[in-house]
Amino acid sequence: MQKSGLLSVPFRPIVYNPDLGDLSQLIAPPYDVIDSEQCERLLAKHPYNVVRLILPPSLNPDDPSRYSKAARLWEQWLDEKVLVELEEPSVFVYAQRFALGGERKEHLSLLTTIPLLDYDSGLIRPHEHTMPKPKSDRLTLLRLMGAELGQVHGLLSDDTGEWHELLRSATSATVWLRGELDGVEHIVWRITDPAFNEEVNRLLARQWLVIADGHHRYETALTFREEVPEAKRDPNHPANFIGIVIADFQRNATVLPTHRLVRFSSFEDVERVLQEVRRHFRSTAVNWGGDEKMLSQIFQNSNGIPFLFAAQGQALLVTVTGFEGSVSQYIQQLPSPLRKVDTAILHQAVLPVVFAAVGLKPSDLTIDYTHDAEFAFQFAQQEGNMAILLRPISPQLVREVAEQGYRLPPKTTYFVPKVPSGLVMRKILSPQETLLRGADKEG
């Protein structure tokens, strides 16, 4: 296994049998973004939809045997040729085509496997913290199924455009897979030519990746690898690798903002908070009715770090320069790269000052989140509610924070589109290994 740099390693893909028809009926979003309503829609789409395997939290949460049932279903679908494993190892060029803000966009990336590397290698860097429960959930499923149903998402730097052009060169070939999910077209080209992967590895040799999506899955794979004795003996064992989609941050990464939705106990509390915001920060009343493009324009025209506080017919543009006496001490306590991160400024400096002034603690409040500015606006019109709207963080700043060894506050990034589950899958354990390990692992 390569120790000095990143390495793209072709793998034997498992895909849905083409005889099943439209792949759009079979793929699903990543498990952790599927709510109960979407889960029901996916179950109704097709009896072989991959949602039955990936087990989102809303699918039979009280069934203690849900993991073993999903594992048996995986084996059944392989036996019945619902899923087919191809013989020849391959890498893939993967395109996502979608509309955002009235514009058509396309992201190009490489779908491959790379050696599982510890974070301290510096070659794979996280940008956010993980939580124990999701990792435990994924580990139980991985132990019993021994399969990878989707990929993590990593970003590299491509200043010259050479990476992007290499991927683009593969898209003149015949499309191998195509499916649509939630308005996004997913297109895959299969590549078996070793010369292409050699060029990929030439470009990867001096790179490092920041994880954009899939921190829980990556860390689960690290834990799982240590549990597989065969992986310790055989450096080429599939458990020593992880499936990943690799894109450049300059052209092929999009992040949505995550707006804060705050519920107060009364209209009076909202007014008191707005009064303190005006007292501590440069604030300007603006005319905003929920339009996304207008919000972007409002933010572009401001100097400093802008937030829009909206509540019951009011919209207040709040600009933080960092020199305000009330918050400068909080900002100075932040590591240098985090002083440019809007969510860090909001939660470590702005809200502590404002809430303390009105005698509120964050634990007294209910905070939800949305990526939709119009939804945030409508929420803010209800009595006792306030929406705090933010700019999206740039992928470049995500890389910068990760490069310096820091992690972003929760709910800072939301990369889109998501890489679906069920598009290209991979077997990690043989059926014999799964049987031997699964008997005493479920819980």
Query: Tens digits of per-residue pLDDT, 318-346?
Result: 999 877 777 888 888 999 999 999 999 99
Confidence of residue 432 (pLDDT cuts 50, 70, 90): confident
Element (H, E) at 400: helix 395-403
Give exposure, 327-365, as e/b (b: 16+ Cβ within 10 Å): beebbeebeebbbbbbbbbbbbbbbbbbbebbebeeeeb
CA 340 to chain centre: 21
- Tell me whether strands 152-156 and 241-248 are parallel, antiparallel or unpaired: parallel
Q: Is pLDDT at 93 greater than 60 in this prediction?
A: yes
Give the pLDDT confidence score for residue 437 in this predicted structure.
60
Report which residue type is found at 248. D
Element (H, E) at 124: strand 124-125
> Are 95 and 107 within 8 A, CB to CB?
yes
CA torsion 67→71→77→83, rounded to 10°?
100
Give the pLDDT confidence score for residue 316 in this predicted structure.
97
pTM for the predicted model, two decimal places: 0.94
Confidence of residue 52 (pLDDT cuts 50, 70, 90): very high
Whole-angstrom distance, CA of residue 313 vs CA of residue 377: 9
- Measured from the Cβ of residue 132, the count of other Cβ atoms closer than 10 Å reads 8
Confidence of residue 436 (pLDDT cuts 50, 70, 90): low
Give the pLDDT confidence score for residue 1 in this predicted structure.
40
Give the pLDDT confidence score for residue 438 in this predicted structure.
54
Contacts of 440 (CB under 8 A, 6+ apart): none
Q: Is pLDDT at 204 greater than 60 in this prediction?
A: yes
In DSSP terms, which residues pair with 103 in a beta bridge?
100
Instruction: State what percent of residues in the chain have pLDDT above 90.
Output: 86
Whole-angstrom distance, CA of residue 347 vs CA of residue 195: 49
- Measured from the Cβ of residue 403, the count of other Cβ atoms closer than 10 Å reads 15
| Residue ranges of domains in the chain | 14-254+415-438, 257-391
What's the whole-number mean pLDDT along residues 116-122?
96
Query: Tens digits of per-residue pLDDT, 1-51?
Result: 444 579 999 999 999 999 999 999 999 999 999 999 999 999 999 999 999
Whole-angstrom distance, CA of residue 222 vs CA of residue 240: 8
Q: Is pLDDT at 158 greater than 50 in this prediction?
A: yes
Residue 118: burial class (beta carbons within 10 Å; 0-12, 13-18, 19+) = exposed
Whole-angstrom distance, CA of residue 210 vs CA of residue 189: 24
Q: Is pLDDT at 230 greater than 90 in this prediction?
A: yes
Least confident of 216-225, 249-258, 317-326, 340-349: 317-326
- Measured from the Cβ of residue 195, the count of other Cβ atoms closer than 10 Å reads 8
Report which residue type is found at 175. V
Give the pLDDT confidence score for residue 303 in this predicted structure.
86
Whole-angstrom distance, CA of residue 52 vs CA of residue 215: 22
Tokens standing for 169?
A: 């060169």
Give the pLDDT confidence score for residue 443 in this predicted structure.
41
> Are 409 and 343 within 8 A, CB to CB?
yes
Q: Which of 22, 8, 23 is nearest to 191 (CA)?
A: 8
